[in-house]
Amino acid sequence: EPEVTQTPSHQVTQMGQEVILRCVPISNHLYFYWYRQILGQKVEFLVSFYNNEISEKSEIFDDQFSVERPDGSNFTLKIRSTKLEDSAMYFCASHKSLGLAEETQYFGPGTRLLVL
């Protein structure tokens, strides 16, 4: 069964460094998302992406964040200058199209980011 994959599974970085989190959505999906979950807290929406542009972004998604779909398969989240509070699990999700069944978002296993 197709699934969303994410790399790396864990990343440790120093404050101020740039990180790129990678995702490969399910191949026939058109809508892509990034969410984050600070340890012990709820899952929060960061950004949605469709047709090579951002559809919606949250207040969390400030100028330090960017997303890109550099080729036909990868979907990346870049954090330019990481802060301690960026430490979280980052989930990528995708869904096929619109309509109930098609809108079910399937999540990747997550990347746990630790900023020191």
DSSP for 29-87?
A: --EEEEEEE-TTS--EEEEEEETTEEEEE-TT--TTEEEE--SSS-EEEEESS--GGG-
- What is the residue whose two structure tokens read 């990868």? 74
Residue placing its CB nearer to other proteins in the complex, 81 or 104: 104
DSSP 98: S
Interface with other proteins in residues 21-80 (CB under 8 A): 31, 33, 35, 41-45, 47-48, 50, 55-58
Minimal distance, residue 55 CB to other proteins, in Å: 4
Only one of the segments 19-27, 62-70, 71-79, 85-93 lies at the binding site for other proteins (rule: CB under 8 A); that segment is 85-93
Neighbours of 7 (CB within 10 A): 14
Taking CB under 8 A as the rule, does residue 5 contact other proteins?
Answer: no
One of 67, 91, 113, 115 touching other proteins (CB under 8 A): 91
Tokens of 60: 């969390």
Minimal distance, residue 45 CB to other proteins, in Å: 4
Contacts made by residues 59-63, CB under 8 angstroms, sequence distance 24+: 60/36
Residues that bind other proteins (CB under 8 A): 31, 33, 35, 41-45, 47-48, 50, 55-58, 89, 91, 93, 95, 98, 100-101, 103-110, 112
